[in-house]
Chains A and B, each alone.
Chain A
Amino acid sequence: MSKPPNFRFFSLVARNLANRPYRNLATIFAFALIAATFFSSQYMMSGAQQSLDMGISRMGADILVVPEEYAGAGQTVILTGTPSSFFFEDSGFEKISRIPGVAKASPQIYIATLFASCCAAPVQMIAIDPDRDFTISTWLKENPGVKLEKDDIIIGSSVIQDVGRDLVFYGHTFHVVGILERTGMGVDNSVFTRFEDAYVMAAESEEKAVKKLTIPQGKVSAVLVKVAPGTSPAAVASEIMTQVPGTKTILPNGLLNAVSGQLGATTRILYGASLAVTIVSIPLLGLISVLVAHERRKEVSILRALGATKTFVAKLMLAESFSLAIIGGFVGIGVSAGILVMFQDFIMHTLKIPFIIPSPIVIFVQGGSALLLSILVGGIASLYPVFLIIRSDPYETIRGGDS
Chain B
Amino acid sequence: MINITGVTKTFMTGCSEVRAVDDIQLEVSPGEFILIFGRSGCGKSTLLGMLAGLIRPTSGEIRIKGVDIGSLSDDNISGLRAKEIGFVFQFSGLIPTVTVLENVLLPTLFCTGGPGSRLRALELLEKVGVADRADAYPCTLSSGEMKRVAIARALINGPSLLIADEPTGDLDVDTEYEIMELFRQLNHEGTTIVMVTHNPDLISYGTQTYRMDKGKIVERPGSSSVSNRVPGPDCILKSKDLP
A-side residues, CB < 8 A to B, are: 3-9, 11-12, 15-16, 18-20, 299, 302-312, 393-395, 398-399, 401-403
Contact = CB atoms under 8 A, between A and B. Distances in A.
Contacts of B83: 307
Nearest to A397: B54
Contacts of B110: 306-309, 312
A4 B118 contact: yes
Given A3-B117, A16-B97, A19-B97, 8 more contacts: A15-B98, A302-B89, A306-B110, A307-B85, A307-B110, A398-B89, A399-B90, A401-B91
A114 to B, nearest CB: 66
A126 to B, nearest CB: 66
A16 B119 CA distance: 23
Nearest to B146: A403
Interface stretch (B27-35, B100-108, B204-212): B100-108
Nearest to A401: B91
Contacts of B92: 403
Contacts of A8: 109
Contacts of A4: 118-119
Contact of B91 (A6, A15, A393, A403): A403
Given A6-B105, A11-B102, A306 B82 contact: yes
A318 to B, nearest CB: 16
Nearest to A20: B97
A402 B143 CA distance: 12
A306 B118 contact: no
B87 interface: yes
A4 B102 CA distance: 13
A309 B74 contact: yes
B78 A307 contact: yes
Interface residues of B, number: 40
A4 to B, nearest CB: 5
Contact of A304 (B78, B96, B97, B170): B78
Contacts of B153: 306
B54 A304 contact: yes
9 smallest A-B Cβ distances: which pairs?
A: A307-B82, A307-B110, A7-B105, A19-B97, A395-B54, A395-B49, A309-B78, A307-B81, A4-B118
A303 B110 CA distance: 9
Contact of B78 (A5, A308, A393, A401): A308
A376 B78 CA distance: 30
Contacts, number: 103
Given A6-B117, A395-B54, A403-B92, A303 B74 contact: no
22 contacts: A4-B118, A4-B119, A6-B108, A7-B98, A7-B102, A7-B105, A7-B106, A7-B118, A12-B106, A20-B97, A302-B93, A304-B54, A304-B78, A305-B54, A306-B110, A307-B85, A307-B157, A308-B110, A310-B78, A312-B110, A393-B55, A395-B54
B191 interface: no
Contacts of A299: 95-96
Nearest to A305: B87
Interface of B: 45, 49, 52, 54-55, 74-75, 78-79, 81-83, 85, 87, 89-98, 102, 105-111, 116-119, 153, 157, 165, 170
A11 B52 CA distance: 27
Nearest to A307: B82
A16 B95 CA distance: 9
B185 to A, nearest CB: 22
Nearest to A11: B102
Contacts of A306: 81-82, 87, 106-107, 110, 153
A309 B79 contact: yes
B123 to A, nearest CB: 13
Given A6-B117, A7-B105, A395-B54, A307 B79 contact: yes
* Residue of A3, A19, A393, A399 with most partner-chain B CB within 10 A: A399
A307 B76 CA distance: 10
Contacts of A403: 91-94, 96
Given A306-B107, A307-B82, A403-B91, A6 B98 contact: no
Contacts of B107: 306-307
Contacts of A9: 109
Nearest to B85: A307
B95 A302 contact: yes
Contacts of A18: 97
B76 to A, nearest CB: 9
Nearest to A302: B93
A390 to B, nearest CB: 10
A80 B157 CA distance: 71
B110 to A, nearest CB: 4
Contacts of A3: 117-119
A323 to B, nearest CB: 14
A3 B79 CA distance: 25
Contacts of A311: 75
